[in-house]
């Protein structure tokens, strides 16, 4: 499928993946609603399991953003 990717194609794909990786790490450490332990855990997931960690963080970020816009409380409202 990706056999004939030569030259600059590899660099473009690597650049996109690296950019998403860096943006995810920056977003983790700039998020105000997260504690230090949560940030360290998310960083470990992103670094040690790159594809799954990045996708999980992005999903968590966008779902959290949607919840804030809908003004729904997080967690159990006991």
**pLDDT over 80 at 72, yes or no:** no
Whether the full predicted model's pTM is greater than 0.75, yes or no, is no
**46 domain-assigned:** yes
Report how many domains make up the chain.
Answer: 1
**54 domain-assigned:** yes
**74 domain-assigned:** no
d(C-alpha 78, C-alpha 74), whole Å: 11
Tell me the residue range of the domain where 51 lies: 8-69
**78 domain-assigned:** no
d(C-alpha 19, C-alpha 43), whole Å: 15
Q: What is the pLDDT of residue 61?
A: 83
Indicate the length of the chain as a whole number: 78
List, for residues 3-35, the tens digit of each pLDDT value.
Answer: 666 677 788 888 888 898 898 899 889 987 778
d(C-alpha 32, C-alpha 28), whole Å: 9
């Amino acid at each position: 499928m990706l056999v004939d990717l030569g030259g600059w194609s590899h660099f473009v794909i690597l650049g996109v993946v690296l950019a998403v990786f860096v943006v995810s790490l920056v977003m983790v450490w700039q998020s105000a609603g997260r504690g230090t332990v949560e940030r360290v855990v998310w960083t470990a997931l992103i670094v040690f399991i790159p594809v799954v960690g990045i996708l999980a963080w992005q999903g968590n970020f966008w779902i959290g953003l949607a919840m804030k816009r809908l003004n729904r409380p997080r967690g159990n409202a006991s």
